[in-house]
Amino acid sequence: MNLDDQQLRIEGIYRQNERGEYMQRVKLPGGILSVVQAKALAELGVLYGSGTLHLTTRGSIEFHGLKGGDLPAIHRGLAAVGLFSRGACGGAVRGISCSSSFGPGFGRTQVLLRHFLKHFSGNPHFEGLPKKFKIAFEAGYEKSRHLIQDLALVLVEEDGENSRYDVWLAGGLGREPQAGFLYADRIPESELLPLAESVIEVYREWGEKGRRLKTLFNTLGEYELRKRIAERLKSKEPARFIDGFAKQLLPDRRGLQLPLNVFAGELSVQSFDQLITLAVEQGCDWLLVTPDQDLELLVAQSSEAFEQALRALGFTPNYQGSALRICPGNHECRMGLCTTRDLAQRLVDEFGERLNGRSLAISGCRNSCAQPQLAEIGIIASKLKREGETRVALYDLYRREGDGLGEAVASGLTEEELLAQVGDFIV
């Protein structure tokens, strides 16, 4: 099969390594998938993948280690259960994330989020963008993920189709982290789609190739960016998605939310398959991939026997709300400067329960894929130092204490120095 790496990106596929293996990312609306879809993903992972599924910090799922010839079969397998990957990589509107879990307001945001995802995915008017365009719907400000999106829509007043949202623009991390700014507050739902289209059209027309919306914001300034968006908006009418009936997949707070740790977002397909079987027996029909690379089940009720069975499969209930985000680092990513999972394991071994209830993120390079600036403690492998015949990573350490992005508090640390400083923070 003759495959063009550039053309594959729009299908959510990257070439992963020199062995010619591929990564396939799958868009999950707000991280939600049904147990039927979860079973299908596990089955595709067994048939074609490397034995694990990778959970991303945008609530998507990735297959790694794929053969090029298997890509069409995976596409068919995804389509059979209503899943797709169009625009999951490349210059397109990426998977739309939501970090609000199954909490209040989640039901309303996920209805609108699904409409947006369908509208922008595979729509030629919104592909061919200078770079990725990230949208998030949030049911509140708790997790602060509105700060790092090209476009974030935060529910501030829930009233069915008359709900209102704050709109944030031009945030992003990467090598030049920048918090988004509040573009407008309390915008009615009917005005969100024309606004989103206008922002993306402005980005598509004036954005610099290879740069995010935040760069256009920095180049034009807030006043000029607002002016150009307003110009576009003049030609658009308010647009409401009319539903024939209430389309919430799950009522707010039905049953028990059961968060489960998945170390480094690496999920064995066998364990995942067994987990779904167990969860179905417990009355679960939907589950979440969270932006902390974990899973969350919505079960009718839990029990000691159920939790023991989960632990036997390697899933620990995360009642303390800990978050440990870890990018693949040089285990799998060509940009990685360190073995992120080994470092994370060392931190867990060293500090154990002292990490409970805390958020920690490790990125294998300055691209910040693990969102270290949004964690209480963020770690970035920032450069390599020669030591005899080998090269070892040095680290920058970030702390987040206010409402904005975390700030670097130390740089160029060796692994030992890093561990000592993390230990001082979490005494």
Contact of 22 with 31, CB cutoff 8 Å: no
Q: Does 265 help bind ligand SF4 (rule: CB under 6 A)?
A: no
In angstroms, the Cα distances linking 323 to 11, 233, 268, 376 are 30, 39, 19, 9
Q: Map tokens 């450069």 to a residue.
A: 383
Residue span binding ligand SF4 (CB under 6 A) among the ranges 11-19, 303-311, 321-329, 386-394 = 321-329
Q: For residue 387, what are the CA distances in angstroms to 61, 287, 394?
A: 37, 46, 12
Please select the residue that binds ligand SF4; options are 90, 265, 336, 406, rule is CB under 6 A.
336
Task: State which residue, 293 or 363, has the beta carbon closest to ligand SF4.
Answer: 363
CB-wise, 202 or 380, nearer to ligand SF4?
380
Per CB under 6 A, which region of 18-26, 135-143, 178-186, 332-340 contacts ligand SF4?
A: 332-340
In the complex with ligand SF4, which residue's Cβ is closer, 268 or 367?
367
- Taking the least distance from each CB to ligand SF4, the nearer of 44 and 393 is 393
Only one of the segments 67-75, 97-105, 333-341, 346-354 lies at the binding site for ligand SF4 (rule: CB under 6 A); that segment is 333-341
Q: Rule CB under 6 A: which of 132-161 touch ligand SF4? A: none
Nearer to ligand SF4 among residue 17 and residue 316 (C-beta): 17
CB atoms closer than 10 angstroms to residue 55: 26
- 């110009």: which residue's tokens? 231
Residue 148's CB: how many other CB atoms inside 10 A? 26
**Residue 71: helix, strand or coil by DSSP?**
helix
Look up residue 185 and give its two tokens.
């507050």
Draw the binding track, 180-219, toward ligand SF4 (x: CB under 6 A; -: no contact).
----------------------------------------
- Identify residues 352-411 at the interface with ligand SF4 (CB under 6 A): 363-365, 367-369
Identity of the residue, 59 or 107, whose beta carbon is nearer to ligand SF4 in the bound complex: 59
Q: How far is the CB of 153 from ligand SF4 (least distance, A)?
A: 25
Question: H/E/C letters for each residue in 101-152?
Answer: CCCCCHHHHHHHHHHHHHHHCCCHHHECCCCCECEEEECCCCCCHHHHCCEE
Short-list 228, 24, 209, 234, CA closest to 129: 209
Task: Please report the DSSP string for 372-392 in residue order.
Answer: GGGSSEEEEEEEEEEETTEEE
Judged by CB under 6 A, the number of residues near ligand SF4 is 12
- Of the pair 364, 378, the CB lying nearest ligand SF4 is at 364
Residues in touch with ligand SF4 (CB under 6 A): 327-329, 333, 335-336, 363-365, 367-369
